A and B are shown apart, each in its own frame.
Chain A
Amino acid sequence: MAAPDTYPRPWRDQTDPPFIRIKSITKRFGDFAAVDDVSLDIWQGELFCLLGGSGCGKSTLLRMLAGFETPTAGVVEIDGQDMSRVPPFARPTNMMFQSYALFPHMSVEKNIAYGLQRDGLGRAEVAGRVAEMLKLVQLDGLAKRKPHQLSGGQRQRVALARSLVKKPKLLLLDEPLGALDKKLREETQFELMTIQDQLGVTFIVVTHDQEEAMTLSTRIGVMDAGRIVQVGEPRDIYERPGSRFVADFIGSVNLFEGEVEAAAPDFMRIRTAEGGILVPPEAGFGSREKVAVAVRPEKIRLSREAVGADNALTAVVEDYAYMGDCTVYKLKLPSGRVVSVTETNGFGAEPFTWDEEVHLGWPAAAGVLVRG
């Protein structure tokens, strides 16, 4: 991967026009809004992940981009062109379906060639591009097989090849790796990124696997109940969740509920059941407002002696789980709240055990203030 400073991030300065513009798009089924007033800009060459729980409207949003659903309100623009009146077969998009949707009566080869033939390409060119694609997804030997003669992973590659072969400007992948085992999944994730580098296609990938979103994407859009609640680079989403929902949805998190007690220029103090907790100053929060402090388990330090930290608490080890590279502790605070803390299993340190009293501390900068 390129060094972070040279890696293009057009969404940061927003000087280039976005490639895909989704403007206040809504889709209602009867009274129910499956997608509710979503606006989103996506730039060329991005691998954008839509992340969210089941039924939050990810597939519906994707299907509106592909043209299978008509938006109740709002506009989709791709490459500056309004898509409202463009039927699916004329859009510069291709979609890889969650079910793969391979044509059962056609061989692997014919499945992949189908889109090219619809464009009226010559026989020789079609054959050439199909062969190229088969090589890319490492299915050279299986060209003559029918879909039912393939394994799940192979089918998934055929579906991928079929959606890529037309070199669409925009590729929509609906849970592309959902049916694969962990190893194949990781291999394919890597393959997807390579393909994207090679072809420069813009990807929108739907997933509800947050780890996958973290590894794959340039940016993540988190959806909840038909709305986009936060858009950002994986690191932003993880380190600076904009809401309690996002903090809770992405990774595990400890939430300390309380209210704003004092705001100074360089810190804020939140009054919680555990006492005052310091967080970095955050604009837009008034005094006495109900808030929560989100602290990731791996940002809290444990020790046997009291240490000086912005936030220090004592607790009793209630339970722990040894995970190999790290250990997850469940710690009970005097207030009754259980906090989870992840400790890397380094060298020589004596692990904590049940009912041991421990001191935990974290710097103010490790906490994030969220509403609710």
Chain B
Amino acid sequence: MRLFLPIVAGLGFLFLYVPIASLVIFSFNESKLVTVWGGFSTKWYGELFRDPQIIDAFQISLTIAAISATLAVALGTLAALVLVRFGPFWGRPVLSGMTTAPLVMPEVITGLSLLLLFVSMERLVGWPAGRGMLTIIIAHTVFCMAYVAVVVQSRLVDMDDSLEEAAMDLGARRVRVFFDITLPVIAPALISGWLLAFTLSLDDLVVASFVSGPGSSTLPMVIFSKVRLGVSPDVNALASLIILVVALGIGLAALAMRKRR
């Protein structure tokens, strides 16, 4: 009985991390065959950095993720503020529904509807001209914003209203109150919202495939197309690098959160 918890926890960890561990280990495989161990080597990492297609895609993905996460935080925070602070108003249920819709909508539908929107907008107003990074950024902002809104909303609800009243009582006007009090208090939610949006954007394959254009293949799209031709060890190396980046990001976020407490 006493061993029950450690065993269950151990199984859970195995289940979660064995695939990742095997991926990392095989990324150091000398052999070209993915499943046969041929000795230790870092040559696939070197190969990776010599592949211009991957370097490009990596840059594109990072740029898109950074921009759309930032936009999503700005818009999602505004939406959350309106929903939490402004009480019942005309159109509130609609706004509330619209902000959470992308959470439950299948990605295929989000992608398809955005594609249709972009195509018809191009025909009607001539913008956005063609599909590429811009359309991916817009699409990612749309669905990431929903996640940010949810995260920020719960933080705002938890926040003691009298903090803002106290600031106002001490002579601060509304805008000041927002920047001096509200923003710092909800900052942890903004940081985790940004990181969430960043990883969601980095990870997205489906929506991006719908709305991307020539020369704007994101990393997941490149990996996917490579894997369809057979798994090669350099994809393992790439995946290991992504894991490293994500782990670093999460570590930093945790550190930032702890400092705030």
Q: Once the chains bind, are B160 and A115 in contact (CB under 8 Å)?
A: no
B181 touches which of A99, A103, A162 (Cβ 8 Å)? A103
Is B172 an interface position by the 8 A CB rule?
yes
Which of B170, B173, B184, B187 is packed against the most chain A CB atoms within 10 Å? B170
Which residues of chain A come closer than 8 Å to B162, judged between CB atoms?
A: 97-99, 101
In the assembly, what is the distance between CA of A119 and CA of B160, in Å?
Answer: 24
Q: Once the chains bind, are A95 and B169 in contact (CB under 8 Å)?
A: yes
Is A243 an interface position by the 8 A CB rule?
no
In the assembly, what is the distance between CA of A61 and CA of B165, in Å?
Answer: 15
Is B119 an interface position by the 8 A CB rule?
no
Q: Once the chains bind, are B169 and A89 in contact (CB under 8 Å)?
A: yes
Q: Once the chains bind, are B166 and A97 in contact (CB under 8 Å)?
A: yes
B165 touches which of A101, A115, A119, A166 (Cβ 8 Å)? A101
Interface 0/1 of A84-96, CB less than 8 Å to B = 0001111101110
Is B55 an interface position by the 8 A CB rule?
no
Q: Once the chains bind, are A162 and B165 in contact (CB under 8 Å)?
A: no
Which residues of chain A come closer than 8 Å to B167, judged between CB atoms?
A: 103, 114
Is B171 an interface position by the 8 A CB rule?
yes
Q: Once the chains bind, are A115 and B163 in contact (CB under 8 Å)?
A: no
Interface 0/1 of A156-186, CB less than 8 Å to B = 0000001100100000000000000000000
In the assembly, what is the distance between CA of A162 and CA of B176, in Å?
Answer: 18
Chain B, interface SS category: helix
Which residues of chain A come closer than 8 Å to B165, judged between CB atoms?
A: 66, 68, 88, 95, 97, 101
A89 touches which of B160, B171, B180 (Cβ 8 Å)? B171
Is A336 an interface position by the 8 A CB rule?
no
B169 touches which of A88, A103, A119, A148 (Cβ 8 Å)? A88
A-B contact count (CB 8 A): 63
Which residues of chain B come closer than 8 Å to A119, judged between CB atoms?
A: 171
Within 8 A of B (CB), among A101-125: 101, 103-105, 114-115, 118-119
Q: Once the chains bind, are B163 and A166 in contact (CB under 8 Å)?
A: no
Is B260 an interface position by the 8 A CB rule?
yes
Which residues of chain A come closer than 8 Å to B187, judged between CB atoms?
A: 105
In the assembly, what is the distance between CA of A118 and CA of B166, in Å?
Answer: 13
CB distance from B191 to the nearest CB of A (A): 13
Q: Once the chains bind, are A101 and B163 in contact (CB under 8 Å)?
A: yes
> Contacts A103-B181, A105-B184: A89 and B172 contacting too (C-beta < 8 A)?
yes
In the assembly, what is the distance between CA of A358 and CA of B72, in Å?
Answer: 81
Q: Once the chains bind, are B170 and A166 in contact (CB under 8 Å)?
A: yes
Interface 0/1 of B181-208, CB less than 8 Å to A = 1001101000000000000000000000
In the assembly, what is the distance between CA of A99 and CA of B159, in Å?
Answer: 12
Within 8 A of B (CB), among A267-313: none
In the assembly, what is the distance between CA of A115 and CA of B171, in Å?
Answer: 6
Is B25 an interface position by the 8 A CB rule?
no
Which residues of chain B come closer than 8 Å to A87, judged between CB atoms?
A: 168
CB distance from B187 to the nearest CB of A (A): 8
> Contacts A101-B163, A118-B176: A94 and B185 contacting too (C-beta < 8 A)?
no
CB distance from A111 to the nearest CB of B (A): 9
A105 touches which of B168, B173, B260 (Cβ 8 Å)? B260
In the assembly, what is the distance between CA of A89 and CA of B176, in Å?
Answer: 11
Chain A: which residue is nearest B162 at the CB level? A101
B172 touches which of A94, A101, A118 (Cβ 8 Å)? A118
Which residues of chain A have a CB within 8 Å of any CB of chain B?
A: 66-68, 87-91, 93-95, 97-99, 101, 103-105, 114-115, 118-119, 148, 162-163, 166
Contacts A88-B169, A91-B169, A166-B170 aside, 6 further interface pairs with beta carbons under 8 A come to: A68-B165, A94-B169, A95-B166, A97-B165, A98-B162, A101-B163
| A–B Cβ pairs within 8 angstroms, 18 of them | A68-B168, A89-B168, A89-B171, A93-B169, A95-B165, A97-B165, A101-B160, A103-B163, A103-B166, A103-B185, A105-B184, A105-B260, A114-B167, A115-B170, A115-B171, A118-B172, A163-B169, A166-B170
Q: Would you list the 7 A-B pairs with minimal beta carbon distance, nearest first?
A: A118-B171, A115-B170, A101-B166, A101-B162, A105-B184, A88-B168, A97-B162
